[in-house]
Copies of this chain bind each other. A is one copy, B any other.
């Protein structure tokens, strides 16, 4: 039996330091459970001169070859993020026979196939639990614990920044700009918040989740994306009034008839649904399978220690393989090539908020515009006055996206409609689960 498993760590920022900390703090337990000692041998950093608040008995270098050419290093943990040079480093490490653990959602969502092919070819493991949902176990549960199921749907709150913002907007009535500034001040949102608020971070995670859940390759380009920038306090208020909560959801559905449908957008969800209670920076992934029915995984979607928990879980999994001299027990599971459902053919109910002339007959004209386009309404409320005008809020029944788009065009053309102020999908995650 091997006594020591050596690790090369690429990147020593927040998460990298977290990994080193947790390995040290929980060393006794981990060694017992794995049957081997996990040892960080070499750490790759960009700048050797940067002051660090954690030190250990590892070698710090700024040369990748110190890791790649060291035959004593069994596992490489990649925590640099971004595509370059992470992707090349991981490919080269696999060619050198090293197993990979990474939290890099960008590389997986865009180059997943290359990575898995390289792992297969070089007979090494490629694991990425930390790429989705931070510390929350979701990749292993999907690949192992739920394997008996055909997964039909995954609905996730997978971006902590936007969930924090929407929670504050809901609980405190704050507007988007104020809450963004607050999130930036707390370090939850970056100076350029686009990746979070435009939904791109969530889209990468949606692609990864869908690939694993449906056993077919889903890339970032296959995900339709809409962020939270247009959500106003008025939308939040209407949602509350109508018994809903607004969340930024990563939704992936698979139906034999329509194909795979993967998207990220804000949505109204019923306030009784367990996802509605996922607040602040917490994440959760709700999964429907044909045997298990509904299940949900909840926890911290980011942070040094939670992410380290997921990274080390992968390292331990590989280490157990090393100790037992077995590899490839669970390989890439994208063995199918499923078709995608065009976005026009996807179905949702919608919340539609209109600014209209405050005069008799307006409600009728609007109802007619919906009806002409085969959009049937669940409820319509005429609400507060806005100067000389009024707002009307409608919730539709489930409808094809192309039909709601046509309905919106018809509405826009009505003389009594000043403006379509917002249109947000209404999702019931439990539906067809």
Contacts and interface: CB of A to CB of B under 8 A. Distances in A.
Nearest to A151: B29
Interface string A275-303: 01111000000000111111111111001
A21 to B, nearest CB: 9
Contact of A135 (B137, B291, B316): B291
B25 A290 contact: yes
B298 A135 contact: no
A148 B311 CA distance: 9
Contacts of A278: 274
A139 to B, nearest CB: 9
A22 B291 contact: yes
A306 B330 contact: no
Given A291-B135, A291-B308, A29 B141 contact: no
B295 A299 contact: yes
A50 interface: no
A312 B291 contact: yes
A313 interface: yes
A172 interface: no
Contact of A329 (B141, B215, B290, B320): B320
- Copies of this chain, tallied across the complex: 2
Nearest to A33: B147
A333 B26 CA distance: 15
Contacts of A296: 296-299
Most chain B Cβ neighbours within 10 Å, of A18, A30, A276, A296: A296
A293 B300 contact: yes
A154 B223 CA distance: 37
B299 A294 contact: yes
Interface string A308-335: 1111110011001101111111100101
Interface size class of A (residues with CB under 8 A): 35 or more
Contacts of A23: 148
B313 A148 contact: yes
A129 B145 contact: yes
A355 interface: no
Contacts of A308: 148, 291
Contacts of A18: 291
B309 A148 contact: yes
B309 A146 contact: yes
A329 B293 CA distance: 29
Contacts of A317: 144
A400 to B, nearest CB: 29
B335 A329 contact: no
A236 interface: no
Contacts of A310: 145, 292
Most chain B Cβ neighbours within 10 Å, of A137, A291, A321: A291
10 contacts: A22-B290, A26-B290, A30-B147, A144-B316, A148-B309, A272-B279, A291-B306, A295-B297, A296-B299, A298-B298
Given A147-B312, A324-B327, A324-B329, 18 more contacts: A25-B290, A26-B150, A29-B147, A29-B150, A29-B215, A32-B335, A33-B147, A33-B333, A135-B295, A147-B313, A148-B312, A274-B278, A291-B305, A292-B299, A292-B305, A292-B310, A296-B296, A320-B329
